[in-house]
Structure 1
Amino acid sequence: MQSNKLRMAIRATAAATVLGMASQAGAVSLEAGDYDVNLYGFARVVATYDIDEDIANGGQAGNFSKITTGSGDTADGHFGMDANTSRIGLSVTSPQDVKVVVEFDFDNNDSLEPRLRHAYGEYQGVMIGRNWSNYNSFVGNGATLDFDALPGTAGNQSRTEQIRYTTGAVSISLEQPFESGVEGGVDKTSSPALTARIEDSQGGMSYSAAVMAKQTSFDDGSDDDSAFGYGAFLAGKIALTEMISIQGAINYTDGANAYVYRAGGNFGQIDAYNDGGDIETVESYGGALSASMGLGEGRSVNLGYGMATVDLDDAVDAGALAANTTDTNTMAFINYQWSPIGKVKMGVEYAYLETETQGGDDGDANRLMFLAQYNF
């Protein structure tokens, strides 16, 4: 009974994956001898109306760094629409069970040039290539329509080149690290990121936990130093009833702030700063919580809140950063989603975004969004 509740809750929050990722289960199968070939993707159109700011990025996602803080004037009432996040992918599995995936979308700084999302090969639990970071999970994600989603969700919510091994619920990887830089020094990548994750379900609950470590370094020709950067997250989802679920995540990093999703700026604040030739790491933390209620016949109501913050007090006191540097982002949303016909998803959403600087100045934005997605 509990496992059935979990399945029903996952259906109620399916927009977190169906509206955000193409499902290869519904892909178009192609004839190619003994090879299993699937073409998949979707056409996705998003329209937004920014009520009191102009903060849309490609895909009409809300950009925290465009929010006016302090006493600055804002321009009200901005409409935008695009199809940048439309997606196409090809999955090929050989008779020897070697799987290859290549996937593109067009969310590339509004240039409408194809953007490589995935390019990897996989065989007997070993995956090499560009894929979702192993330090990442969708288990606790809220079903927001915004393509960039809530701050504070689990891990970095992005893709990177890696070598990963998975056995059962456990996976480990060596990855190209995500780095936000060292203020006051020329940062350098001096090691891969090492990650380990467990992700599983039990009864009416799904859960994921992960740890990561990397070297954070700088070298400006006269001074150089390095420090140990690390992080951890915990994410989960629980089915309260057959139609209602709650899900969420908590995160912490030190010297690896790109691994707390949307912490400072729009996608991450500094990892560390140069303090007279010595590297000083910066801490960050975040969390997200959401709830979903299925209404039947492909309809659902979803709401959630996320926060991510960076501790910049010491960096500002040391003169490495100005007090008007963004340290905290928060977002809340409520939406209604429906499926008028198979493989078609639509939704309307209201979102409230707020950003704050280390010095205490803040700004906010209210926006409305409509989404239509046609999967194949």
Structure 2
Amino acid sequence: MNRNKITIAVQATTAAMVLGLATQASAIELNPGSIDAELYGYARMNAVYDIDEDIGVSTQSGSFGKVNTGAAEDDEITGHFDADAVQSRLGVKVTTEQGVKVVVEGDFRGGSSGGDLRLRHAYGEYMGVLLGQTWSNFNSFVGNTSVLDFDALAGNAGLQGRVTQARYTTGPMSVSLEDNFTSILDPAGAAASTKNSLPTLTARFENSSGPLSLSAAALLHQVEYDIGTADDQAIGYAVFGAAKFAVTDTVSLQGAVTYSDGANSYLYRSGDNFGAADAYIDGSGDLQTISGYGGTIGVGVDVGPGSINAGYGWVTNDWDDAEDDGVAVGEQHETNSNAMVNYMWSPVKNVTMGVEYAYFMVDKQNGDDGDASRIMFAGQYNF
């Protein structure tokens, strides 16, 4: 995204002068210096035509949870149009002369159908130490294919979301302690209450050399429940690798692979729409972890004033042990996959347009499956 900086040079002698209290010796003083403030964002419209069935959510992204499967496909009402502007974004980044950076950013995807202001980023960073909310350290965009759908391809590397954390970065390495995401199924297959006693621990390496960019990460987290009369805990983990290779100045290949065991909350778009369950409670009250894996592959080709991008992503969960233990998991998503191809172009600087075809496929543990196709148009005006 191109951002035009709005730079504000603030030469401050004392806060007391600003408050009109310079004559009082107890006034708070600020060291003279400058602050660079960058205001950025964009206004964006997303419009979609769902060919088979209405699977759109806010930002008009396609939802795996709204794809009809089995007999429900016979009741589909075809041809749905919708549009919104809730992806529009506003942020501010401030950097002091001491090297302290502060970022606060939001968009309007909040609420069940969007429209409410949603906090995306709110963090400070100094000397490699970051505190606040931003992209999870178990996350990378290196292997992502450029698509218009805001929620993008299943199987993209890591969480692909923002989380409250404490992170330290030195060179290409970063480690973090993050707010823990967990999901557990009870013996009936319903969501069980979880308990978070420890933060998630992550480590990531990300670097580039010539035409090749690489990223790899791992995480450990505790999966736990405690209902007073029964409790148990387990350790879940996940790893991913992502890469992008510039074949030529105009052609790139990219992709990612992820594996998780007891950490499917971090396996992107593996569940009803996002993370699947990490574990289930068996008939003896013990926690049993659930494994999953996924990946993406894509290509980007510069053509004229824009680029053609095509990508495919998939994720698969292993529900067999849970089913053998009598847990009702027949309606759980075994495999989610989607493919997207688009053309994005910039008619003028700071303006991006695009049109995209997307195909979504869902396979459930009980053997039911379903699919849906859609066409999206987007227009984005950056500042």
Structure 2 counterpart of 1:57: 57
- Which segments of 5 or more consecutive residues in structure 2 lack a partner in the other structure? 12-33
For the residue of structure 1 that corresponds to 2:65, the secondary structure is helix
How many Å separate the matches in 2 of 1:183 and 1:159? 27
Structure 2 counterpart of 1:174: 177
How many Å separate the matches in 1 of 2:183 and 2:5? 36
User: What amino acid maps onto 1:101 in structure 2?
Assistant: V
Q: Is the 8 A contact 2:356 2:377 kept in 1?
A: yes
After TM superposition, the structure 1 = structure 2 runs for residues 89-168 of structure 1, keeping only pairs within 5 Å, are 89-108=91-110, 109-168=112-171
User: What amino acid maps onto 1:129 in structure 2?
Assistant: G
Structure 2 counterpart of 1:292: 300
User: What amino acid maps onto 2:77 in structure 1?
Assistant: A
How many Å separate the matches in 1 of 2:292 and 2:197? 22
Q: Is the 8 A contact 1:182 1:270 kept in 2?
A: yes
How many Å separate the matches in 2 of 1:235 and 1:118? 23
Q: Is the 8 A contact 1:183 1:272 kept in 2?
A: no
- Runs of 4+ in structure 1 off by over 6 angstroms are none
How many Å separate the matches in 2 of 1:27 and 1:70? 52
User: What amino acid maps onto 1:293 in structure 2?
Assistant: V
After TM superposition, the structure 1 = structure 2 runs for residues 3-14 of structure 1, keeping only pairs within 5 Å, are none
Q: For this pair of structures, how many residues does the alignment match?
A: 353
Q: Is the 8 A contact 2:245 2:254 kept in 1?
A: yes
After TM superposition, the structure 1 = structure 2 runs for residues 272-351 of structure 1, keeping only pairs within 5 Å, are 272-275=279-282, 276-297=284-305, 299-351=306-358
User: Which residue among 270, 274, 285 is the counterpart of 1:267?
Assistant: 274
Q: Is the 8 A contact 1:264 1:309 kept in 2?
A: no
Structure 2 counterpart of 1:28: 6
1:207: Cα distance to partner? 0.4
How many Å separate the matches in 1 of 2:78 and 2:379? 25
User: What amino acid maps onto 1:291 in structure 2?
Assistant: V
Change (3 A) 1:32 1:57: farther
Structure with the larger RCO, 1 or 2 (CA within 8 Å, 6+ apart): 1
Structure 2 counterpart of 1:11: none
How many Å separate the matches in 1 of 2:195 and 2:137? 22
**Structure 1, residues 225-270: CA drift from partner, whole Å, max 9, x if none?**
0001000000000011111000000000110101110012100211
How many Å separate the matches in 1 of 2:10 and 2:349? 27
1:111: Cα distance to partner? 4.1
Structure 1 counterpart of 2:67: 67
After TM superposition, the structure 1 = structure 2 runs for residues 215-294 of structure 1, keeping only pairs within 5 Å, are 215-275=222-282, 276-294=284-302
Q: Is the 8 A contact 2:232 2:285 kept in 1?
A: yes
How many Å separate the matches in 2 of 1:228 and 1:30? 48
User: What amino acid maps onto 2:149 in structure 1?
Assistant: D
User: What amino acid maps onto 2:172 in structure 1?
Assistant: A
Structure 2 counterpart of 1:198: 205
1:186: Cα distance to partner? 2.4
1:31: Cα distance to partner? 4.3
For the residue of structure 2 that corresponds to 1:341, the secondary structure is coil
User: Which residue among 87, 90, 99 is the counterpart of 2:89?
Assistant: 87
The answer on 1:361 being equivalent to 2:368 is: yes
1:94: Cα distance to partner? 1.5
How many Å separate the matches in 1 of 2:151 and 2:183? 18
How many Å separate the matches in 2 of 1:77 and 1:31? 53
For the residue of structure 2 that corresponds to 1:258, the secondary structure is helix
Q: Is the 8 A contact 1:55 1:66 kept in 2?
A: yes
Q: Is the 8 A contact 2:86 2:114 kept in 1?
A: no
User: What amino acid maps onto 2:241 in structure 1?
Assistant: L
| Percent of aligned positions that are identical | 51
Structure 2 counterpart of 1:5: none
How many Å separate the matches in 2 of 1:175 and 1:46? 32
1:182: Cα distance to partner? 3.9
1:319: Cα distance to partner? 2.2
User: Which residue among 65, 76, 79 is the counterpart of 2:78?
Assistant: 76
* TM-score in terms of structure 2 length: 0.90
Q: Is the 8 A contact 2:212 2:244 kept in 1?
A: yes
**Structure 1, residues 266-319: CA drift from partner, whole Å, max 9, x if none?**
00211100012110000010000000000143x110101000111111112222
Structure 1 counterpart of 2:30: none
